[in-house]
Amino acid sequence: MSRWLWISWAVALCMMGARVACAAETPPVADHLASAGMVAQLALDGPIGPAAAEYFDDASKHAVADGAVAIVLRLDTPGGLSDSMRQIITGMLACKVPVLVYVAPGGARAASAGTYILYAGQIAAMAPATHVGAATPVSLSGSTPMPFPKIGDQPGSAEKSPAPAPSDENGDTESHKILNDSIAYIRSLAQLRERNVEWAEQAVRGAATLTASEAAEQHVIDFVATDVSDLLARADGRKVQLGDRKVSLQLKGVSVRDYPPNARSRFLAIITNPTIAYLLLLAGVVGLFLEATHPGVLLPGIAGGICLLVGLYALQLLPVNYAGLALMALGIGLLAAEAVTSSGALGIGGVIAFVVGSVMLMNTGVPGYGVNLGVIAGIAVCAAGLLALIVRLVLRARHARPFIGDDALLNEVAELLEPIAAGGEAWASVHGERWRVRCESALPVGARARIVRRHGLLLWVAPA
């Protein structure tokens, strides 16, 4: 028994020794990325928002799980929301493989939030005829002032001179906080990737922009690439920082696999479009109003409830101005009251409140996050036209002669079906109906008489 035990120990020691020897001969994975493998390609087109952030998180994790050795993040954005931008950058910095940010195709841009994302990539590249910059933050309550002097005006001011204290002339304290936080954030990204720190600050402080070739000359990006194949060829062999270690990119011969957004991300992208969210909100209100005025129909109420809940969910993900939302609610309430009272003044006030609230709803200055003014104008014109139609119908109804009741019978003409003696009664036809009539004068059969009053089922008539 002891003999077999010694043999087992010997075999185990030999296997451990062989494993250690193999590990010593193989270069560390941390210092080298194998050339065999796959590169994942993600695309961020349009405004940076919750849908874009969720798409990047989900697609990057799937790419790493599928064995991707790098991620190419193709970028074309006018900017977007700060929170979503920071979520994407946090995912990039925590990613287990290098992220190559590529502004493409020709004519694309990495503006505002896109500038930060470009700086965060281990490799930053741009296609010809693209541009980057204009990264000044925008407050949700309006545009943020740019109070500080440009870098070129005072050389070294970004490194040596402290920022001026907030004052009435230089903007409010909150604007300074937002601006200084954004400057510190992009400077930290530039220092991490060893890129042009001064221009990064100027892109935030003074909304500076650069073309692709200018960005390469000023070391804002690593190089200009014509397409993804050229990007991988130029990036091959470069050493980049991945977490706390340096790795060498080996990207020759790798295949490129696209990772499009999944169904959830596409749905989120649709409903978080400000115009779509706005229309969903209106559809929900109209549906519930129709259900309230026509109980039992069910379909408008069910569809309206779904649209309203989806619209409210989208609004809580977007930079909503709640004063604008309150004005919209007031306008809808006034229009509903106008449908009941028909005063005219309530309807006019409702249209004005609704239009002003719609314009204010997402008029935040954040690129790509404003409701289409054409949609607002179209809905406002339709609401005004409907209001004018209601007022016209009300006025016509007020001036029209009555069609029911005693007033409707007065001065109508009755045709006698039989002769009538003075002070007597006979049968007459009124609008095809047989009525008993009384007249103070004698009239022959077929004579026409004018109705002067009614008493129960008896009509008093006079010669026409």
What is the span of the domain harbouring residue 135?
21-264
Domain identity same for 49 and 189? yes
pLDDT reported for residue 151: 42
Residue 9: inside a domain, yes or no? no
- Under a CB-based contact definition with an 8 Å cutoff, are residues 187 and 133 in contact? no
- pLDDT digits 0-9 by tens, 329-349: 888 888 778 777 767 778 788
Rounded Cα–Cα distance for residues 198 and 175 (Å): 21
pLDDT reported for residue 404: 62
Average pLDDT of the residues in 374-399? 78
Domain identity same for 243 and 230? yes
CA Rg value for the chain: 38
Residue 292: inside a domain, yes or no? yes
Asked whether the whole model's pTM tops 0.95, one would answer no
The residue ranking higher by pLDDT, 411 or 429, is: 429
| Percentage above 70 pLDDT, the chain | 80
Domain identity same for 111 and 160? yes
Q: How many domains does the chain have?
A: 3
- pLDDT digits 0-9 by tens, 32-71: 444 458 999 999 998 898 899 999 999 999 999 999 999 9
Residue 4: inside a domain, yes or no? no
Domain identity same for 361 and 258? no
Domain identity same for 251 and 304? no
Domain identity same for 333 and 434? no
Average pLDDT of the residues in 201-228? 93
Domain identity same for 176 and 49? yes
Average pLDDT of the residues in 306-317? 85
pLDDT at residue 322 is higher than 50:
yes
pLDDT reported for residue 229: 92
Q: Encoding tokens for residue 206?
A: 């003074």
- The residues, any chain, with a CB within 8 Å of residue 44's CB and separated by 6 or more, are 52, 55, 56, 73, 74, 75, 76, 77, 88, 114, 117
pLDDT at residue 170 is higher than 60:
no
Domain identity same for 136 and 229? yes
- Under a CB-based contact definition with an 8 Å cutoff, are residues 355 and 331 in contact? yes
Rounded Cα–Cα distance for residues 143 and 364 (Å): 8
pLDDT at residue 6 is higher than 50:
no
Domain identity same for 103 and 212? yes
CA dihedral 438, 439, 443, 444 (to 10 degrees): 0
CA dihedral 351, 354, 357, 363 (to 10 degrees): -90
pLDDT reported for residue 403: 59
